[in-house]
A = this chain, B = another copy of it.
């Protein structure tokens, strides 16, 4: 490791006074001591006695490398906040920043407030150390247990997107975001920088990126630390930032350089926010320090500080190797704990002097516990938007287009609160939600051309061709106490599979933490779905996101498949009111028959699943067969199949069950929405054949119902990965979910029917053949299918 020279660009240094420097340094040393202590110590937290092997944890788990840099940034931001009364949050990008953030929030008192067992005394410090990466304790990342955090950092890449999400519509807030140079290599982070093209200096807060170049990942140098300095400067300026460089390893010089740079940066932010003009180049910090700074410089003859070897546990064999034990003690004592903590174990005044007070402490900033600030959305009455349904299927509407009008009114109703946003990857209009532009615009800070439409600096729709950005921004927006909806092509929401995993995990843990207040749910509207990709093809066909989320914590996950416009409105309103969930709504944008009036829709959605009596052939008879459906396209096919059955097999008692809330199918024991066996049997019968037409992969239904009495009676049709560029009805035929196939299924499954209904069965098979010939010739579906209506 070549130690970089100390440099700081920007305006001339605002030199810290001796006293200030000493205070910032004391705070930094204290945080470094506590960070190392968490990784190593079970006991003897204040080193009041010589360190012995039994004071050390048996399993050394944790990450030292990033911690001193984070502590350095945190200490300096504390000083800045105190000096200028800044409303500031801290987003910790580096994956394993847990020790640093726990150390700092302990020192500022925000952690002991939420975890009284870790009080600011020796016993509390012992607890702080012991719990870290310990069974029943806290993880090595900045988890929900850490006050002040909205960002885990376990899976890297999302810190900047979270920071921008937090800054939107928070004009007084500065979101400091430390980006690790490992994280900076990820795709989401690489495009995350472009958040500045959507941040309105007048109506939004500021994001202060601190790119921390400590040079190494787990086992490799990092790209941004090794490319030539001019290239890095070009890159950051190319991203639209004005970088200030703070580089070195000498603490005194570095303190002066960092303080000076931060003063300049804050002045720059304030100037931008009070100015006008085109999109500014926002200031940022590039901090170049050794990895594992202030830790052991060499272990067993190999360099450690300033290398990848400092990533995790620099001294790996402390319990076994007396030399390692000795080195650990020397390292810990190098921070001079006796100067930092009083006899009781509390940090001395010198350490806490630069820490801000109350809510200005970054661990106590209410934005980072967004539920504290959350106000319910003002939701307009959905009945004003509901479609009038005189008879089921008598009319047709485009569900998302109607939803767009409702969302427009949501924007209007919450215009003054500015706490609702719509997110999408360039698809809001394609998904037919464009009525929202009557109430707001798309956020856009660049120049505009005469041909542009609906762009404005303070627009509240965020469109960028990156699902990662949409997801990350929305997460940051929600966790700071606001509301939102992400509309996405169904197939491409898999791009954020891993991000939603992490958000669900965050919510799962957050729900168990008493001081974390409920936040608005993360709402997905998945449209342009698998059954209607007429313009595209196989690559755009994938209903598997439902399966993906269904694996995750049932406390958090909800899946809705509204079959028509009014049910979509009802579900959407419900989701916008809800808290602490991830709601997945799958709904089409193409014209769909209106099955239920507003009241019926509300009732049906409240029940989550129900018998559609108007569609049953003998609603008061025990059915011969149940035709069940979940999803808009399956519902149409089931009703079309019922039409055919009514005509061809008029004596058959067919029950129609529609499922809106997919998790209703699970047992009560598995999901809070799960039906009791009695309810389930009342809908699906204990023993009659059930032909279930489902929007997605059929086996998910089997997974949900395999414990039910009638599971063996379930025959599920769905998407079987037979995708291509073709017509809507052909997609159904290819995947054996078309009306003709469903009728054949009924004939094959109802006892005795195969024998008597052979002619009908043959007619259905012939219709499928006719379809195949017709589309090859005409390129569109059979007229009888295109023009079919239920009424």
A interface residues (Cβ-Cβ under 8 A, vs B): 1-2, 42, 57-59, 61-63, 130, 133-141, 143, 152, 154-157, 182-183, 185-192, 194, 197, 217-223, 226-227, 231-240, 303, 306-308, 312, 426-430, 442, 444, 446-449, 451-452, 455, 463-466, 468-469, 491-492, 494-495, 497-498, 501-502, 505, 508-509, 534-540, 542, 544, 547-548, 551-553, 697, 699, 702-703, 706, 711, 721, 723-727, 730, 775-776, 778-780
A144 smallest CB distance to B (angstroms): 10
A523 smallest CB distance to B (angstroms): 20
A416 smallest CB distance to B (angstroms): 27
Are B552 and A197 closer than 8 Å at their CB atoms? no
Kindly state the separation between the CA atoms of A204 and B540 in the bound complex, as whole angstroms: 33
Interface of A is mostly: loop
Closest 4 A/B residue pairs (Cβ): A235-B238, A154-B539, A187-B187, A139-B537
Kindly state the separation between the CA atoms of A508 and B538 in the bound complex, as whole angstroms: 10
A702 in contact with B697 given A238-B231, A497-B497 (CB within 8 Å): no
**Chain B residues whose CB sits within 8 angstroms of the CB of A135 once the complex forms:** 725-727, 730, 775-776, 779
A672 smallest CB distance to B (angstroms): 14
A249 smallest CB distance to B (angstroms): 15
**Chain B residues whose CB sits within 8 angstroms of the CB of A154 once the complex forms:** 536-540
**Chain B residues whose CB sits within 8 angstroms of the CB of A61 once the complex forms:** 534-535, 725
> Told that A58-B779, A217-B465 touch, could you supply 13 new A-B pairs with CB distance under 8 A?
A61-B535, A133-B537, A187-B188, A187-B468, A191-B191, A219-B428, A223-B464, A234-B237, A303-B451, A491-B501, A494-B498, A497-B497, A497-B498
Kindly state the separation between the CA atoms of A587 and B578 in the bound complex, as whole angstroms: 40
A237 smallest CB distance to B (angstroms): 5
A291 smallest CB distance to B (angstroms): 10
Beta-carbon nearest neighbor of A188 in chain B? B187
Interface CB pairs A-B, < 8 A, 28: A58-B780, A61-B725, A130-B779, A136-B726, A136-B776, A140-B535, A140-B537, A143-B537, A143-B539, A155-B540, A183-B465, A185-B464, A185-B469, A186-B468, A187-B189, A187-B190, A191-B191, A197-B227, A219-B463, A220-B442, A227-B240, A231-B240, A234-B238, A497-B498, A501-B544, A509-B538, A552-B721, A706-B706
Are B498 and A725 closer than 8 Å at their CB atoms? no
Are B497 and A494 closer than 8 Å at their CB atoms? yes
Find the residue from A156, A312, A497 having the highest chain B CB count within 10 A.
Answer: A497
**Chain B residues whose CB sits within 8 angstroms of the CB of A240 once the complex forms:** 227, 231
Are B141 and A536 closer than 8 Å at their CB atoms? yes
Kindly state the separation between the CA atoms of A428 and B308 in the bound complex, as whole angstroms: 14
Are A59 and B185 closer than 8 Å at their CB atoms? no
**Chain B residues whose CB sits within 8 angstroms of the CB of A239 once the complex forms:** 235, 238
Are B221 and A430 closer than 8 Å at their CB atoms? no
A516 smallest CB distance to B (angstroms): 15
A501 in contact with B227 given A194-B185, A536-B141 (CB within 8 Å): no
Beta-carbon nearest neighbor of A306 in chain B? B451
**Chain B residues whose CB sits within 8 angstroms of the CB of A776 once the complex forms:** 135-136
Beta-carbon nearest neighbor of A537 in chain B? B139
Are B446 and A221 closer than 8 Å at their CB atoms? yes
Are B187 and A536 closer than 8 Å at their CB atoms? no
A546 smallest CB distance to B (angstroms): 10
A491 in contact with B155 given A135-B725, A140-B535 (CB within 8 Å): yes
Are B223 and A446 closer than 8 Å at their CB atoms? yes
**Chain B residues whose CB sits within 8 angstroms of the CB of A509 once the complex forms:** 538
Are B187 and A537 closer than 8 Å at their CB atoms? no
Kindly state the separation between the CA atoms of A171 and B779 in the bound complex, as whole angstroms: 46
Are A218 and B539 closer than 8 Å at their CB atoms? no
A99 smallest CB distance to B (angstroms): 13
Kindly state the separation between the CA atoms of A463 and B535 in the bound complex, as whole angstroms: 38
Are A725 and B551 closer than 8 Å at their CB atoms? no
**Chain B residues whose CB sits within 8 angstroms of the CB of A141 once the complex forms:** 536-537, 539
**Chain B residues whose CB sits within 8 angstroms of the CB of A468 once the complex forms:** 186-187
A536 smallest CB distance to B (angstroms): 6
Beta-carbon nearest neighbor of A670 in chain B? B699
**Chain B residues whose CB sits within 8 angstroms of the CB of A551 once the complex forms:** 544, 547, 697, 699, 721
**Chain B residues whose CB sits within 8 angstroms of the CB of A143 once the complex forms:** 537-539
A222 smallest CB distance to B (angstroms): 8
Kindly state the separation between the CA atoms of A192 and B223 in the bound complex, as whole angstroms: 13
A119 smallest CB distance to B (angstroms): 20
A505 in contact with B227 given A217-B426, A779-B42 (CB within 8 Å): no
Beta-carbon nearest neighbor of A181 in chain B? B465
A789 smallest CB distance to B (angstroms): 20
Are A133 and B190 closer than 8 Å at their CB atoms? no
Kindly state the separation between the CA atoms of A671 and B508 in the bound complex, as whole angstroms: 35
Are A139 and B451 closer than 8 Å at their CB atoms? no
Kindly state the separation between the CA atoms of A553 and B552 in the bound complex, as whole angstroms: 23
A505 in contact with B238 given A465-B217, A534-B59 (CB within 8 Å): no
Out of B219, B491, B778, B779, which one reaches A426, CB within 8 Å?
A: B219
Kindly state the separation between the CA atoms of A188 and B468 in the bound complex, as whole angstroms: 10
A752 smallest CB distance to B (angstroms): 23
Out of B62, B139, B312, which one reaches A539, CB within 8 Å?
A: B139
A494 smallest CB distance to B (angstroms): 4
Out of B152, B187, B218, B238, which one reaches A466, CB within 8 Å?
A: B187
Beta-carbon nearest neighbor of A184 in chain B? B465
Kindly state the separation between the CA atoms of A536 and B779 in the bound complex, as whole angstroms: 54
**Chain B residues whose CB sits within 8 angstroms of the CB of A306 once the complex forms:** 451
Are B185 and A465 closer than 8 Å at their CB atoms? yes
**Chain B residues whose CB sits within 8 angstroms of the CB of A134 once the complex forms:** 725, 779
